[in-house]
Structure 1
Amino acid sequence: MNRLNRFLLIVLALLITPGIIFAQEKLYWDFPEPVKQAYGGRFPELVETGSGMALIWQDFEGNADELNATISIRVMFSDDGETWSQPVLNVAVGIPYLWLEEVPLYSVSTAPDGRLIVAVAEGRSGVSIYIQGSPGASGEFLKTATIPPGSGNADVPVAPRLAATPDGGFLLFLTRRTEAVGVAPGRNSLLTVFSASSTDGVQWGAGTLFISLDNDRAIDGGILDQNFLPSYFADGDDEYVVFQSLRTGSNNLVYQLYLKHRKQGGDWESAIPITENLLPEGLGSNSLLWDNQRPSLGKGDNGEILLTWERRKGQQLPSIAAAVLNRDGSPLSQMVEIVSAEPGRSSFSSRIINIKGSTWFLWFDSSGIRIARREAAADRSTIRYHVQISSLNALTEGSDQNSASFPGAAILNGNIYILWGDRSAGTPRTVLLKPDLHVDRPILRFTNFNSGKPGNSRNLSVRWDPPADSSGILSYSWLWSQNLEDVPSRDELEQKYHEVQTQKTFENPEEDEGDWFFSLIVRDIAGNWSDPLKLSYTLDVTPPPPPVMRVPSTSADGFLISNSFNLEWEDGEKEAAAYYRWRRVRLAGTVDELPLEIFTTQEALPVGNDGVVETSDRFIAQSNIDNGVWAYSVAAVDMAGNEGLPNTEILLTSRYVPVTFISLVTDRNDENDQIYLTIHGRGFLVGGLLSSAVIDEDGVEPWDYEFIRATGQLKVYSDTLAEIGPIDNMRSGTYRIGVIHPLRGQAFWNIPMRLDTTGNVKFGPFGIYKYESLWKPAARSLRLNGNQLLLLILILLG
């Protein structure tokens, strides 16, 4: 890049950045981002934890509509809104799921010290309470209590709602059936809200009726029937719970909202009607025509107690409404505030958020996740709601149409983070919308070294991709340094534009040995600087010294006391080697075949490549090797890939223990088409010649066929080679082949032979042919089928 172009880019950066920073005084959003760790999860919630926030969700295992499902509740934490703790913590795992539809079965709140407390509806067991042992990502969850269900199968508690109270305690609300004689024709029970309380989240009182059948009455004096979805809110010493209750409307049954209030530490006052005392459409309107659901409480920017809910008139589409309450929970006026009633859109599940001194309403409708700012005139006479034109999920990638729903929000460091669930190709996922307060690290594309590990490469290359950013990327800055704490310069003249790679060459590698750190930062057009992308590399071009060998025990004559031994060694330096390369060479069969000087002047044999074994162990295990003079060479390879000089030990062996075994059998036909079997193995000569060979079905005397050396049916050519035959006049079948040594007895080959009616010989395994399993005789004795026996033998062989 020439100096003029570089100067122009710097000037452009200086012109652009202040404007963007000024724009960040508004709610300025980043791209919606699916949370990969919660992929597949349902009903996500954001929870404030004091110094951070937590993301919690419900996973389904199995299919709810087939009644074979279980659920698990999982959570992870963030201190900065950018990164999430790993691993994901399990709150509760494998809870039986009893419903045909997918519904949330948990509720979460936060203790004063930042620990999460979670209530989980566990079917017929009741509602269990789980609380962290300590705050944050390290705090495992323990079950501390269970609120039992009622006495009948229909008394299973559902829809837990957990809330933290101003005194540091907790309230749990749940819905279940209770007896109510004569509540309706032909019905002596109703669904209503129960509650339980705790001062510490560990010890809980019994669940009792929250909505009294005697004291909490409807506006017409009737029993409050079918009560659901309590929502708790506290402000100072005042505590409120609003809920919906099924009432008789003008034309059909509708839900109306009721509220209970108390002063901290006092008793709950009787429920008061809310929506039945409001004029939903101004003077002359009839509240009994409106259905009201999913209430939520919050606080306005001037300290007002606000109520919001979704409401629907007859067959009209539901919309979002709000009302101002007095300190005792009663409506401040009869007027209803219309938050959103857009034609052709159904709106649901609103909640109130306070951010940067303003009051915001959050909900979802048929177009997506919506947000509006509440503004009041100075005299509070006029209220306006400024609804953001585009839905918050409009830029979400891969989202199924109209699938975003049930948003939640949390405040972290004075900024709002919004969360919702949607679907992508039918699969549930969790989407997080962050304020545009940061830019992600550059995305590493390629390096020719392994970060965090030593290497001996003199030329290093790093390439990266720009991160996705809602504002766009402006420049990069990077630094190679031997100081971990050094960071790239943010000076304008040091910025690199449109460059996405760098190279580092060590001109004097011996002098440059040691730790090197690469740090890369990126700046977006909004003026945000990323955290550094950090890589580390330890340049190491010095090979390790030879290993220090420990020779096995020898007798007085210098020979090893056994031909089975371990040759061990230690690293020649403090730093452990990555692995070792070793090779053995038989220099001679006896000591007499070598000059004596070799035992004092033999240099370390080069390990090379032929016959070399690599191992991470610090020993070589040898079993009954041949007698002779052996040279063992071992070299160390360090973590950087440098191979050092080998060390060589010369070992004398003279205590070989003869053994007899068969390693291979092959067949041949002579010029007369007679069949001979060639037997390969060992121990056919040492300590005496084989006396005979046998072919037998079960490997137990008496032998079916015996080939005796004295008669010429067995020929021993060497200690490792023999032959039997001719094989004729044998019946078809599956046989074992063995040899008999006069001192060491019987030795059978572990693979059977099959002889068919035409005289053809086949050796196993026979499972690859269309024959009956080769293991049938042995399998029969072990009461296994052939394939089971073959599998057993393969397992035993490792």
Structure 2
Amino acid sequence: MPSGGKFPQAETGGGIIAVVWQELALTRQTESEVSGNASLSLMVKTADGPWKTVSNVAGPYPFVGKEASIYSLAVNDQGHILLAVSSSDREIQIIKSTDGGNVFNIVSVITSDYTVISPKVFYRDGGGYLLFVTRQSMGEGTGDALSTYYSVSEDGTAWSPLALLVNDPGKQLNFLPYHASHNGREFVVFQVLETGERPSYQLYLKVSSDRGRTWGPLIWLSGFNEEQIGAESTPVLYDNQRPFIAPVNGKLAVTWERRFMAGAPQVYYMEVDDSGKILGDPERVSQGVRSCRYPQIAVADGVTYLFWFDNRAGDEQIIAAWKEGIFWQDNYLSRMAGVSIFQKPVVLDNRLQVVWENQRAGVSRIIFLAPDRTAPAPFAVPLDFAAGRRVKQDRFSVTWNLPRDSSGIAGFAYSMDRDPGGLPPRQIMVPSLNNRAAAFTINEDGYWYFHLAAQDYAGNWSDTSGLSIFRDTTPPGPVTIAEPEMDDNGFLLSNSITINWEKPEEDDPIGGYSYDLQFLGER
């Protein structure tokens, strides 16, 4: 995708994928801030169609300060694209396209008497939209606080007045809401900065039964104790930020960053029911001391995936995680130079696809990773025999290469049998990080076949490759020697003769002959 883009967002709906990013034309830059004009561009495609690029669909918008995202994206089930943009410090523009991104029009402008920033727009299941913004709540008995406000629209054009999401005393400092629809209800999860002896960010959930017009009481999600260094620690010792919520296999799943005291943030995961009740125990997904940020959820082929970026390799890279049994497994998704951040997974036609921002050498670019449906076959190499030739040994050793694959090779499976069209089992027998080798003992002559296949981290199996082996430990039969010409007395006709013989009666190929002429003396 084009260079220069930042803060990508992606959504699917109506059979399309829409990817939007932000570009900034700088007019001034210092160590502490930048100024310039921000604009938005877009790429859109159907599941199997080509990409269509539309530049400058919104903007330019004057920008001063630290560069941050100024927009949010939603796509409805008809493929209509909706953008909510902070067009000024007290104004949110709603920009809409109903023709797949060819033409965008400003359909609504939401104004406020106070500063309003960070719009987040979401499509509701069954139609309509929810908009959340962060707004000054001064003058409403809350002090000069930044709180989350919301608005509801049935068509993306007419919006209800901004309403305060949280009225509870002591909870007015709340940010970063994320929404999901599930079983006819609306859910929004967000973080609250709670003051006290130790200020900390805590996660809360609200549920709406009337499509987001009103919201129920606060549900505390991060209020659980954990054991740290052999002792149980209370919730106020943890900071919980950047929550994400999504339907997962009939339930709702929440993932977020959780940090103990001044430690590195880690990725956590929990599931809740339709009332917001936590199901089971929350899980820590990431391990170690790396800083893990911006976790998100996607479901494809019935598998729940988590994505985040962390600094395990120095520069931040995108990580994908999935569950095997009761344990979470993870691996790199972005295997590339530079810093990779702000990933957004999307699913279209049950195909999981991911977009993110990559920064390298001072240049940002948008990366789109399409579904990986194939894996390359490994190439087997004999270590102690010649493939396809007859050998008289019993023990055979094979090694193979590590193929290059966009998702990475997870491991290999192999088998040895007498079927030239045989297949190895579809389960990893040799992880890719192990020594890539196998050894066999064969106790029966004839052709044998070594079958080998690779599986990548996307779950794809390669075609089967392999080697043929011919074990031959049985010597050939005796030759038939033709009698040379002799005279009537039984003597050779000449001192120089040619001795001929016939090969053994078996059809086995003969590698060669050896002979020995012995002098038997005079009669």
TM-score by length of 1: 0.44
Distance, in Å, in 1 between the alignment partners of 2:12 and 2:122 is 13
- Which residue is 1:197 aligned to? 152
Distance, in Å, in 2 between the alignment partners of 1:310 and 1:249 is 21
2:300 is matched with which residue: 355, 358, 369? Answer: 355
Is 1:115 aligned to 2:58, yes or no?
Answer: no
Distance, in Å, in 1 between the alignment partners of 2:188 and 2:134 is 14
Indicate how the Cα distance of structure 1 residues 178 and 200 shifts in structure 2: closer, same or farther if over 3 A, else same: same
- Which residue is 1:46 aligned to? 10
Distance, in Å, in 2 between the alignment partners of 1:64 and 1:404 is 23
Is 1:60 aligned to 2:24, yes or no?
Answer: yes
Instruction: Compute the displacement of 1:89 (Å).
Output: 4.1
Indicate how the Cα distance of structure 1 residues 262 and 415 shifts in structure 2: closer, same or farther if over 3 A, else same: same
Indicate how the Cα distance of structure 1 residues 64 and 54 shifts in structure 2: closer, same or farther if over 3 A, else same: farther
- Which residue is 2:166 aligned to? 211
**Could you tell me the percent identity over the aligned residues?**
29
Distance, in Å, in 1 between the alignment partners of 2:29 and 2:354 is 28
Q: Is the 8 A contact 2:183 2:274 kept in 1?
A: no
Instruction: Compute the displacement of 1:146 (Å).
Output: 0.9
Residue correspondence of structure 1 range 49-448 to structure 2 within 5 A: 49-62=13-26, 63=28, 65=30, 68-80=35-47, 83-86=50-53, 88-98=54-64, 100-134=65-99, 136-137=100-101, 139-150=102-113, 155-179=114-138, 183=142, 188-212=143-167, 217=168, 222-248=169-195, 252-265=198-211, 267-276=214-223, 278-281=224-227, 284-301=232-249, 303-333=250-280, 335-343=281-289, 345-367=290-312, 368-375=317-324, 383-388=326-331, 391-394=332-335, 396=336, 399-400=337-338, 403-437=339-373
Question: Match of 1:69, as an amino acid?
Answer: G
Q: Is the 8 A contact 1:280 1:336 kept in 2?
A: no
Q: Is the 8 A contact 1:419 1:433 kept in 2?
A: yes
- Which residue is 2:498 aligned to? none
Q: Is the 8 A contact 1:245 1:256 kept in 2?
A: yes
More strand per residue: 1 or 2? 2
Aligned to 1:393, the other structure's residue is in SS state coil
Indicate how the Cα distance of structure 1 residues 64 and 161 shifts in structure 2: closer, same or farther if over 3 A, else same: farther
Question: Match of 1:393, as an amino acid?
Answer: S
- Which residue is 1:515 aligned to? none
CA root-mean-square deviation: 2.5
Q: Is the 8 A contact 1:81 1:434 kept in 2?
A: no
Instruction: Compute the displacement of 1:149 (Å).
Output: 2.3
Instruction: Compute the displacement of 1:207 (Å).
Output: 1.5
Aligned to 2:217, the other structure's residue is in SS state coil
Instruction: Compute the displacement of 1:280 (Å).
Output: 3.5
Aligned to 2:138, the other structure's residue is in SS state strand
Distance, in Å, in 1 between the alignment partners of 2:298 and 2:160 is 32
Aligned to 1:224, the other structure's residue is in SS state coil
Question: Match of 1:356, as an amino acid?
Answer: D
Aligned to 2:89, the other structure's residue is in SS state helix
- Which residue is 2:509 aligned to? none
Distance, in Å, in 1 between the alignment partners of 2:190 and 2:352 is 27
Instruction: Compute the displacement of 1:285 (Å).
Output: 3.0
Question: Match of 1:312, as an amino acid?
Answer: R
Question: Match of 2:323, as an amino acid?
Answer: R
- Which residue is 2:497 aligned to? none
Indicate how the Cα distance of structure 1 residues 370 and 44 shifts in structure 2: closer, same or farther if over 3 A, else same: same
Distance, in Å, in 2 between the alignment partners of 1:141 and 1:238 is 30
Instruction: Compute the displacement of 1:469 (Å).
Output: 7.8
Distance, in Å, in 1 between the alignment partners of 2:165 and 2:116 is 14
TM-score by length of 2: 0.67
Question: Match of 1:421, as an amino acid?
Answer: E
Q: Is the 8 A contact 1:292 1:311 kept in 2?
A: yes
Instruction: Compute the displacement of 1:364 (Å).
Output: 0.7
Describe the superposition over 1:730-755 as per-residue Cα deviations: whole angstroms up to 9, x where unpaired. xxxxxxxxxxxxxxxxxxxxxxxxxx
Q: Is the 8 A contact 1:299 1:352 kept in 2?
A: no
Instruction: Compute the displacement of 1:84 (Å).
Output: 1.3
Distance, in Å, in 2 between the alignment partners of 1:162 and 1:127 is 11
Indicate how the Cα distance of structure 1 residues 424 and 330 shifts in structure 2: closer, same or farther if over 3 A, else same: same
Describe the superposition over 1:8-49 as per-residue Cα deviations: whole angstroms up to 9, x where unpaired. xxxxxxxxxxxxxxxxxxxxxxxxxxx2x2x10110122113
Distance, in Å, in 2 between the alignment partners of 1:94 and 1:430 is 20
Structure 1 gap ranges (5+)? 1-34, 377-382, 440-467, 472-524, 528-798
Distance, in Å, in 2 between the alignment partners of 1:174 and 1:370 is 29
